Structure 1
Amino acid sequence: MNKKTKGAIAAGAAALLLAGGAGTFATWNAQANLNGGSVNSGKLTLTATGSTWSDSHGVINNWANFKAVPGDVLTYNAQATIGAVGKNLNASLTVDPASITGALAASLGTPTVTAKIGSNPVTTITEANDGNVVDVAVSFTFSSAADNTTQNLSASLANMTLKLQQQ
């Protein structure tokens, strides 16, 4: 081998060594474990208790034999205990219209829900209401425009669902 070839090989080897070493420059770093604790979730529960039905004439004592007519406003009155734990919790009470079934359901319209804790009306449930008993009134208005096709029909309210839902 001549001197020029040996020199070229040596120069190439030196270049490879330098290039390979370029990735070995150290950078400083450090780390620390943070004690962030844990995150816990709250709760939102509703436990229904006693209930009654009423219309504009008062309590309906024999609901099984009651026959509604167009224009009647029927109200389901119940009590429920609220479970509401969570710093930024805001919830509202509604009735799931899909839980009301039967041929007469559409003529009863969308139920309206009103609620009181003690004598105070409430529209929003917060953590401050945890453990409170809420008086709930769910009202249905049998459409006064209902025609003869609504006679002898029924709506099942047996699975009516009161929902306490976070907003």
Structure 2
Amino acid sequence: MGGVSARPRSSAVKALAAGALGLLLLGGGAGTFALWSDEETVDAGDITDGELALAVGGGTWFLGETEVDVATFRMVPGDTLTYEATVTPTIVGDTLRATLSSTVPGGGEHWTIAATLPDGGAELTEADSGVAVPIEVDVTLPVGSGNESQLAVLDLEDLVLSLEQVDPSEG
């Protein structure tokens, strides 16, 4: 009788094992399981870059207090002509700092040229944006100029005004 009772127990174990395996496979087992999760898209806004630009207004030439037309004016030794203009910076950026500088062409062997900027190249900030800044460029034909300076022409097309960002790591 002992042999008869061992068989049903063995069949029951096999049936339980097969059922457990079936549930495991149907439940997506095979080594994976899922935890709950959720995700949301966050609108963190937009970041917009600033702007740095320089606009130069038309200028006027003067001999002392008298306005002159350089197309028809002829310099003589001892004359100093002054070009007066305004430049308007556009400085947009919460921490943007910039300096205004000039590069003047060489005067050759006859003239001396000097540009005058306000505050000697002081830093400008967003508070200076849109505010006209006066500049002057003086061109002098020295008294000691010799005969070789007669009918000489000075080309000022290479006069450069620059507005450059100050390196943020510098204070």
Return the TM-score normalized by structure 2: 0.57
Paired amino acid for 1:110: I
2:74 to 64, 67, 73: 67
User: After superposition, what is the alpha-carbon deviation per residue over 1:85-137, rounded to whole angstroms, capped at 9, x for unaligned?
Assistant: 3415130231x224x6xxx644222322234xxxxx67422332111112221
Distance 1:75 1:89, change over 3 A: same
User: After superposition, what is the alpha-carbon deviation per residue over 1:148-167, rounded to whole angstroms, capped at 9, x for unaligned?
Assistant: 11111001124532223345
Q: Across the two proteins, how many residue pairs are aligned to each other?
A: 121
Distance 1:80 1:147, change over 3 A: same
Please list, as runs of the form range in 1=range in 2, the aligned pairs for 1:3-152 lying within 5 A after superposition. Answer: 42-60=50-68, 62-86=69-93, 87-94=95-102, 96-98=103-105, 105-115=108-118, 123-124=121-122, 125-152=124-151
Paired amino acid for 2:151: N
Higher relative contact order (CA 8 A, sep 6+): 1
Give how far 1:52 is off.
0.7
Distance 1:111 1:122, change over 3 A: closer
Match of 1:3 in 2: none
Q: Root-mean-square deviation (CA), in Å?
A: 2.9
Q: Report which of the two structures shows the higher radius of gyration computed on alpha carbons.
A: 2
Aligned residue for 2:113, secondary structure, equals coil
CA distance in 2, matches of 1:122, 1:129: 15
| Percent identity of equivalent pairs | 28
Paired amino acid for 2:115: T
Name stretches of at least 5 consecutive residues in structure 1 with no aligned partner: 1-36, 116-120
Name stretches of at least 5 consecutive residues in structure 2 with no aligned partner: 1-44, 167-171
Return the TM-score normalized by structure 1: 0.58
